[in-house]
Structures are given as structure tokens and as C-alpha cells.
Chain A
Amino acid sequence: MERRSFLKIGAGTAGAMLVPVFGNAIAAEELLNPMALSFKKALADAALNAATQAGASYCDVRIGRYLNQFITTRDLNVENITNTESTGIGVRVIAGGAYGFAATNSMNPDAVAAAARQAVAIAKANAKLQTEPVQLAPVKGVGEVAWATPIKKDWRAVPVKDKAEMLIAANKAGLEAGASFMTANLFQINQQKYFASTDGSYIDQDIHRLWAPINATAVDKATGKFRSRGGLGAPVSMGYEYFDVRAQDKVKAAGGVTTLYTKSYDVIEDARLAGKQAREKLSAKSVEPGKYDLVLAPEHLFLTIHEAVGHPTELDRVLGFEANYAGTSFATLDKWQSKNFKFGSERVNFIADRTTPGSLGLIGYDDEGVRAKQWDIIRDGVLVNYQATRDQAHIIGEKESHGCSYADSWSNVQFQRMPNVSLAAGKARLTPDDMVKDVKKGIYIVGRGSYSIDQQRYNFQFGGTLFYEIRNGKITNPLEDVAYQSNTQEFWNACSAICDERDWRMGGSFFDGKGQPSQVSAVSHGSSTTRFNGINVINTARKIG
């Protein structure tokens, strides 16, 4: 479930007393200095020892320092620049066969040991109700190791003034191109995560992520109508070099209707196109409902993949651990065991991968100390595997975890989260323009829109950012009020063509929500432009009052 949590972050947690700020980030020289490894190791050992002495059969410790900066601009003003810093320690134990967890922001050995003892006490209270003891797949301790997101330019070292100026320039470009209002934001994440466990691992990781969402709104005051066009740049796990625009990272959408971006993002150009296209949407033709062949750009398809493939193949959902919240899954164990459950057509292959460069799910080790890896989820259209953590691996006959454990802060317990799940490129040479030539009655969709799917991931409805009618092999006029509805299995079985690897790129979900208490994680989904035949399209125009 992709959450609107960033709105809450903007309006709640980080929203108190915010004002525009230029200049360097808060005490940049301090933020760039991580905590001493020796200090983290001493704290971790204090927790591990206390937990073991209190009766834990297993303990892991996560020491986190989370630095975020959110910049919000509106038209030509900087509305907010928010720097947040949160440091603390979370201790997870197994005692009596049950989990216990406690977290504290007091970074001293006594407080950390107390948290560890508290976690053991909670585990022992839970053990009374435990039907099966927790069974962890083995992980060999790796000793003291480090891993960092490969970055060329650290966002923490880039002057805030430069970032704000880039966003304001984007807004200015959008306004000049036809928008009545523009917003541009910049979310910057640095997670300094230290993991230690009784298995003998001490893993230090430094993770970076970025996202620059923009939005253009055009208003027709006479009619009271307004329309928006969001940005087409992907969130990434890269350094600030993502905003150093390179010509080779720009591609033309099918029919040349807009510009799309790969390994770097021209936010100013995209904002200019957003302003122009938001204005065009005010007079676009309202769609005729009916069956269409849909040609879906990766900038749109990533969210459909996320909801209709990523989530239903999470093993905790399949087993029922999310039944009370995000739901269960139609992709049940019996379907996987049958070895012939046709999730999609034969050309559909989905790969889970925590190692893809630039992807939001890119890590060295997960939050259980398991090394990042790659594996198949759907092979030639058949469901072949799930996403699993250490305590789930034995259920699907695996000897080791897939490395899918994640917690969004030191204060939350880790649990199963989605890796990057991507649709493999088509094997035959095919460009988006070639794909359109075969379509008699279709719609080309670019960019994310509204999205909703049921709790077992059957029935979904998706909108988009830009819609273009395809008639007899040609992209014709822009459309509006488009949403498509389908059933997940029917949809992927209707997949009739996939462009080749030259067109493959990633979109991403920056705030994907799951779990109770709800946590967010970030994940990318790659694909090439893909076609689905005979999908039901509805018209969403309504009048009120």
C-alpha cells in the first residue's frame, strides 16, 4: 500500500513551526560526522550481553541515526526547509520462543541494557500465547563490515541555497509555461544504520535516497475547472549527482509526447513540460468508457507492479500476518506449490533484486544482517517464489532468508518488506513507437495517478498523469478522466508485448506503508513500456453541487 505518509510528515511530525531557510544545512560539519564505530559497538555489546543474561536465545540491536531534509517550495517562495535528526537504539530478542522488542533514545550503556531486559520481559509475556516458537534461518556472522550507497555527491554537503534555487527555477519554468500554481519538493534521506546480533555480525551502513516531486496546476477561473500534472522523475538511491543533467539520460516518450528521464533528472525541464501539459489538460477530450489496449510507460507501470505483484508476493501477507491491516493475498501457498499457477502470460518475468544500482531498495545487508541478493518471483508467467525474512524461509523450504527485513526507524521493530520487484524487459527488439503501431484502439498512459487495490490484490483501479488516445497505430489527442479497472491475474495474462532493455527504467514508491504500527519503506520497480490488451477503462468525470 503506497501511503500518503509524506503528507503527514509535512503537516505533522516535521510540520511544527516551519519556516523557509536558505544557507547550509543545520551544522553540516556535525551531520557529516557519523558516530564513532567503537561507541556503537560498545552500546551494541551492552544490549547483546544484557539480553543474553536475561534469558534471550537470540538478540539483535539496531543503532540508528536518521537525518532527513525536506524542502518545500510553492511558486516563487520557499515554504519550508526542515532538518530532522533522530538517534536511538532498538533491541529485538527471542526468549521462550517468542519475540520481544524495546527501543530507547537514551544512548548510554545502562539505558540500552535496560531496553534489552525490557525486550526480554516482553518476549516472556508473549511466549505464553505463542503457538509455534520463532524459527530463524541461519545467518553466518560477518564480523565487522561496512556498506554505503554509492554516491558521488552527498546531499548533506550541498548548500541549501543551491537546492532551493533549483526548485524555485523549476516552479518559475512551470509558471511561465502555463501553470497557475507550482510546487516542487525535495526529500533527502540519510540512514546511518548499525546492526549487531548474537550471530556475530557488526554491520555499519550509510544509506542515501532522494526524491524531487513537482506538481503543476492550471486553473480556468471562468469555468472553475482545474487540472494538475505531476512530475515524471523517479525517486532514487543515489547521490545529489542525480540532478546533474546529462543529455544521454533523457528519452522521448512514444510519439514524442513528452520527455522522460533515466539516470539523471532535469527537474526544470520536467516542470516546464508539466506547466504546459497541465494547461493542455483543461481542454483535453474526456474518454469514452470501454475496452482499450493500454500501452503503459514505466513511469506509470511501476505503481501497478508495486500493488499487483510486489504486495501479493509478500510471504507475511500470504500467511496472514497482515490480515488485520494491509490484508492477505490471492497468491496463496497452494498456488505456488502447484508450480503451474499462471500469474501472467508467458512473456511476464518478475525478478526481486536488492542490488540494482540506483534503486530505492538497494542495500548491502537487510535489518536482520542478511546479504542483499536477487531471485525470481514470476518465471515465464508462473508464480515461483515469494519474499521472505529469516523467520519465514523454512515455510517455503528455503535454507536462507531472501533478505527482506526492514524497519523505518530505530524505534520500530523490523519485519518483512518488499525488495525491488521488476518486470524483465522483452527479449525481442521493440520500441514504444513500434508497440503503438500494432494498436487499433488504445490509450498510452505516462506517470502515476490515483491507485487503489483490494486487500487480497484482485480488483484494482489506476489513473495516471498523461493519457493519449491511440487510433489505428498512431498516438492522436490527449485524453482526460481516464482510469482502468482490472483483476490482477487477468491483467498480467493480458500482457501482449514488452519493449526491450533499451527502454527499461525504474519508477519508485518513496513512502510505501505497511504493518502495525505503520511503517514506511522505499522501493523501486523497473520495466520497459508494456502493452495489455482489452482492459476496461472508465470515465471519472463527475459534477457536484
Chain B
Amino acid sequence: MKQLNQEEAKRICDRVIGFSKADECSVSIDGKREGNVRFARNSISTAGLNEDMQLTVRVAFGKKAGIARLNEFDDKSLEKAVRRAEELARLAPENPEFMPAVGKQEYKATPTFARATADIDPEYRAQVAAYSIEAAKKAGLVAAGFFNDGKRFEAIANSNGVFGFQESTDLAYTCTVRTEDGRGSGWVTRSATDARRFDAREAAGVAIEKALRSVDAKALEPGRYTVILEPAATSEVLGNMFGSFEARDADEGRSFLTKAGGKNRLGDKLFDEQINVWADPWNPDVPVAPWDGQSGLARQRTDIIKNGRIASLDYSRYWAQKKGVAPTAGHGNMIMAGGSKSLEELIASTKKGVVVTRTWYIRMVDPQSLLLTGLTRDGTFYVENGKIKYPIKNFRFNESPVTILNNVEELGKPVVIGGDEVPYQMVLPPMKVRDFNFTSLSDAV
């Protein structure tokens, strides 16, 4: 599949809008070329290449709207998509919460494209796997991992004059290294827009070191511990919370941001004052498209938590209109301020504590308190007098991110963390947190 350039995308968008007889018409096109290699047991298991391009057309007659989506791009198909959407819109009832297409927006360019990533080929991917496998073999260990890269574009347009075109690239790498007897396991994750910022050898080395250090873990009693949480250990825990900032839910009484009596907690101090979190589409480490594909609104730099206080809530266009406030574009990333200390320095300043490499299978137990459960995995260590003393068995935790961010003692230097179940990248610091609640032991290595 040939990826479209800006002129080609604009021509198709104009053509689609030209076919429409509705009151308004919106178009989006998204195309991708994704490659990957997966390895396990010190051998490549699968590798692939996947190309696709989709057209989405939305039209409306008054408050009646219809959508059609397909992946064909000849003239006849473009018109077919419009006619399908119009047919649906005519059959639709009025939607009381209908919002017309956004007016003209200013989309200030963001640095989402890197040539070095776009040029990745099967040989490069195989080499990433080879570095990981060879280094693991040399250490007498077994590697399993995954590397994927993508070159994408997206275009949006509507009959109010909106047009945006964005090319992007990304890569992600994870690697688990285990001892042959299954008594030790280490893990690493990396993600980047630009392949020049990725070093497979360096990354694999981290997983190898963790695997070697984690052998023969001792059992520690479950309970409350001071923990040093690596960024990968908190990404999904915090991601769960960042996904729960909907103003409507808080106003309607079904959110952790609801107050007794029916108000929301905007402006309340809910966390330690060291906590500052914001979204920024132009952040050079985690750039994203300057628009939110759901609403078409231009993204802005937005404070989410400022000095421990709830600085903003997410307002859909409908709810914002109802409440008489400005709507917010959906955020494409999340950035948390940290300090300058490395993970090692955080460990060095800890008298007694637990280092957590990664957390796993995190699920909501109670949305009222945002209580989450999950487990540690692939490298959990006991710290005494500033040094890692020995590896320990994995724990299950039951803890709320609100409590975690209240109990922060110290923040380290932030790093980029790719999303797994959280659908965006984040910049997060390692954290030292007191009274973290481990509720039971796991025998899993």
C-alpha cells in the first residue's frame, strides 16, 4: 500500500466532502505500515509486516448523523462511503446530545515523524532480535521479546474548513530474560518516536542484569513497605487514574473525583504537593498529533495535577456546553514531573524498602476509591541501608493510585514509557513511596 502525502490526502478529503449533500461532512483517513519481530526461547518465533488504510465519513442532517467506514479509495468507493453515511443519517433519530462538527482549528505541527524509524526494514528487526538473543545466550540465559515499528499518517477534514495532516513513526521494544532453570527473570521496555534514541544492546543488558540478580528469591512477609517503583511499575496504575478524570462522571456522582453532596473535586488537593502532571502534544519525547481524533479539537498543553491539586477535568463538547465551560481535547500523552536522581540514587537513600521493576495484570477492584490489584514481576528486590540485599518473591498488591501519590517521598528522573493497556505514551519518574500495601505472596517467577 502506498502511504498518502499531504496533497493526496487533501485531494481525497475534498473529493469526499464534494460528494456530500448533507448539512455537514467530516472525513478522516488513517494509514499504517507496521513491522514486527517476536522471539522466544532464544529464537525468532514470528515476524511480519502489516499495511492498511481506512476512510471514515460522517455526515449530518440537522441533529441526525451517520457514519460509514471502509478501506477502498477509488472514486466510486469514495462516493459509496458518502452515500452510505447519508442513508444512515436520514434513518437516524435526532440525538439530544448531538454536537455539530468543530469549526476551523489551528493545528500547530508536532514532531511525530523520524526518518530513521520510517526506514526500518526486516533486517533491522532481525538484528534487534539477534542482539537480544546473542547477549542472553552469552550469559547462559533465555530471551523472549518483541520489537515493532510503525510508519503512519492520518488526515482529518470537515466542511467547516478543518484540515489536518500528520505523519508519525514509533517503535517499541520489550524483552524478558530468564534463567534456564526458571529461577530468575528480568525485563526491560523501551519506546521512541526516533530509532536513533533506541539501543537494543543497552536495553537487553538491563533485562540480563535483572535476570541474573533475581535468582533464588527469598520470601518476605506481605505488609506495608517503602517501595521504589520503576516507571514501568506505575505506568498502568497511574494510567488507570488518568483515564478517570471525566467531568461528567464526577458531576454525576460516580467517580473518585465526586464529593459527598454532589460536587466534584476540581481544585482539591488530593496528592502530595510534589505531584505535577500535564499533557503536551509538543513534548519532544512523546509527541502526538496536534488534534484529538474523537472531537477534532486542537490539543493544548494542559495541567492535570498541579502541586498536588486537581487542575483540570476532561470535558466532552456536550458536557462542556451544558456546564458553560470550554471543552477539552482528549489528551494524547501524560507527563509527570520528577527530580534529577537516578533509580540507583533513590535506592541509595533508602534504609529499608522494596524495588519493583514491573507490575502486571492490574485491574480495578473499586472505582469509588480507585483501588487496584496487581502483582510485581520480573525483578523484585529487598533494599537495606541503601543497597539491594537480595531478590524477593513477587507480591500481589491492593492499592489506590491516589494513596500512592499521597505517600510519595521522593521522585527520580523521568523516562519515556510506552503504553500497553494504557493507550498512550507517558513520561514518568521512578518514585519512592511509603506504606505500599502488599497483600499476598506469589510463587511466580
Contact = CB atoms under 8 A, between A and B. Distances in A.
Interface string B256-295: 1011111001001010000000000000000000000110
A131 interface: yes
Given A77-B97, A85-B69, A129-B44, A458 B443 contact: yes
A226 B366 CA distance: 10
A86 B97 contact: no
Contact of A413 (B48, B130, B270): B48
Contact of B40 (A1, A8, A320, A455): A320
B253 A221 contact: yes
Contacts of A544: 256, 270, 369-370, 400, 402-403
Nearest to A78: B95
B71 A87 contact: yes
Given A84-B69, A224-B258, A544-B400, A126 B92 contact: no
Nearest to B60: A19
| Secondary structure of the B contact surface, majority rule | strand
B184 to A, nearest CB: 12
A143 interface: no
Contacts of B1: 104-106
A94 to B, nearest CB: 11
A23 B444 contact: no
B398 interface: yes
B66 A19 contact: yes
A125 B41 contact: no
Contacts of B443: 330, 454, 456, 458-459, 487
B37 A126 contact: yes
A542 B123 contact: no
A139 interface: no
B349 interface: no
B38 interface: yes
B312 to A, nearest CB: 17
Interface stretch (A200-208, A445-453, A493-501): A445-453
Given A100-B47, A320-B40, A8 B423 contact: yes
A477 to B, nearest CB: 20
Interface string A1-27: 101100010011001111111111011
B69 to A, nearest CB: 6
A518 to B, nearest CB: 8
B434 to A, nearest CB: 16
Contacts of A412: 48, 50
A21 B92 contact: yes
Of A118, A181, A330, A413, most B-chain CB atoms within 10 Å: A413
Contact of A456 (B51, B367, B373, B445): B445
Contact of A21 (B65, B403, B440): B65
Interface in A504-530: 516-517
Interface in B361-379: 361-371, 373-375, 377
B92 A20 contact: yes
Interface residues of A, number: 102
Contact of A131 (B41, B54, B98, B377): B41
B224 interface: no
Contact of A23 (B49, B92, B365): B92
Contact of B145 (A11, A24, A86, A324): A324
Nearest to B58: A17
Interface string A96-135: 0011111111100000000000110111011011111000
Given A17-B56, A454-B377, A538 B129 contact: no
A20 B65 contact: yes
A450 B363 contact: yes
B265 A122 contact: no
A2 to B, nearest CB: 9
A16 B294 contact: yes
B84 interface: yes
Contacts of A321: 40-41, 45, 144
Interface stretch (B6-14, B174-182, B225-233, B408-416): B174-182
Contacts of B398: 461, 538, 540
Interface string B82-111: 001001111111011110000000000000
B144 A323 contact: yes
Contacts of A78: 93, 95
B336 interface: no
B101 to A, nearest CB: 9
Which of B44, B60, B296, B439 gathers most chain A CB within 10 Å? B44
Contacts of B36: 516-517
A275 interface: no
B320 interface: no
Contacts of B366: 481, 540-542
A225 interface: yes
Interface of B: 1, 26, 28, 34, 36-54, 56, 58, 60, 65-71, 84, 87-93, 95-98, 122-123, 125-126, 129-130, 133, 142, 144-146, 148, 174-176, 178, 182, 185, 187, 252-254, 256, 258-262, 265, 268, 270, 293-294, 296, 360-371, 373-375, 377, 394, 396, 398, 400, 402-403, 421, 423, 439-445
Closest 8 CB pairs of A and B: A23-B91, A224-B260, A19-B65, A101-B48, A456-B444, A459-B442, A516-B146, A454-B444
23 contacts: A16-B28, A16-B294, A23-B88, A77-B95, A84-B69, A86-B52, A100-B47, A101-B49, A104-B1, A126-B47, A126-B126, A129-B126, A130-B44, A217-B254, A225-B368, A324-B40, A324-B176, A411-B52, A454-B394, A454-B442, A458-B444, A459-B441, A483-B373
Given A226-B254, A319-B41, 11 more contacts: A20-B98, A23-B88, A23-B91, A77-B97, A82-B67, A119-B48, A129-B44, A320-B144, A459-B440, A485-B439, A540-B371
